[in-house]
């Protein structure tokens, strides 16, 4: 990784659909050289994929939350699989993390109704080995911090 690779990553982070032609113009390099560098970044899995940023409030899933979960740690792998495979109508589990500290698992969730979060809690507490949950609703996002 050199400074040019970081410049390419910054441009793609701002606009994942930016063409190789546009990147080559902005960095004053040939399009084939940019293509080769991006291909290497993809092969090394530095670029893991491309995604679309969605305004979930416009499609009716504007409620976001974080669910912290405590479990019996002796059953961790089994419980983690069950939590990750939960399907609640109207609710999306965006991410499921194993974490350190006071809690064992953290979920990032998105939904259109708080009743869906109640359904999630009900289903979580049915899992054997589940000890407790704690949910925080996100009121607003102040700042999106970019990694580069």
Residue 97 lies in a domain: yes
Angle of CA points 35, 26, 42, to nearest 5°? 30
Please give the pLDDT value at position 27. Answer: 97
Tokens of 85: 């495979």
Scan for tokens 């983690």, then name that residue: 80
Kindly report, residue by residue over 9-37, the tens digit of the pLDDT: 999 998 999 999 999 999 999 999 999 99
Angle of helix 20-27 versus helix 3-14 axis, rounded to 10: 130
Q: How far apart are CA 10 and CA 147, in angstroms?
A: 9
For residues 119 and 68, state if they share a domain. Answer: yes
Looking up residue 33, the CATH number of its domain turns out to be 1.10.10.10
138's enclosing H/E stretch is strand 130-138
For residues 86 and 131, state if they share a domain. Answer: yes
The parts of the chain modelled with pLDDT lower than 70 are 144-148
Nearest to 135, CA basis, from 68, 36, 78:
68
Please give the pLDDT value at position 103. Answer: 95
Q: How far apart are CA 26 and CA 8, in angstroms?
A: 10
For residues 62 and 124, state if they share a domain. Answer: yes
Looking up residue 91, the CATH number of its domain turns out to be 3.30.70.920
Please give the pLDDT value at position 53. Answer: 79
Please give the pLDDT value at position 146. Answer: 60
Please give the pLDDT value at position 72. Answer: 85
For residues 34 and 99, state if they share a domain. Answer: no
Domain region containing 33: 3-43
Nearest to 26, CA basis, from 34, 35, 16:
34
Query: How many domains does the chain contain in total?
Result: 2
Please give the pLDDT value at position 46. Answer: 96
Nearest to 7, CA basis, from 36, 37, 31, 30:
37
For residues 118 and 66, state if they share a domain. Answer: yes
Q: How far apart are CA 140 and CA 40, in angstroms?
A: 37
Tokens of 147: 């990694």
Residue 49 lies in a domain: no
């Amino acid at each position: 990784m050199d400074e040019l690779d970081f410049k390419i990553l910054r441009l793609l982070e701002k606009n994942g659909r930016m063409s190789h032609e546009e990147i080559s113009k902005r960095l004053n390099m040939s399009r084939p050289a940019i293509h080769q560098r991006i291909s290497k970044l993809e092969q090394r899995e530095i670029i893991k994929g491309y995604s679309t940023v969605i305004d979930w409030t416009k499609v009716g899933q504007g409620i976001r939350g974080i669910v912290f979960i405590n479990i019996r740690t002796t059953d961790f792998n089994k419980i983690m699989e069950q939590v990750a495979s939960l399907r609640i109508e109207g609710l999306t589990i965006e991410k499921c993390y194993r974490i350190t500290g006071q809690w064992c698992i953290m979920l990032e969730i998105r939904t259109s109704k708080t009743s869906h979060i109640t359904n999630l809690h009900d289903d979580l507490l049915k899992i054997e080995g589940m000890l407790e949950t704690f949910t925080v609703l996100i009121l607003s996002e102040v700042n999106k911090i970019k990694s580069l």
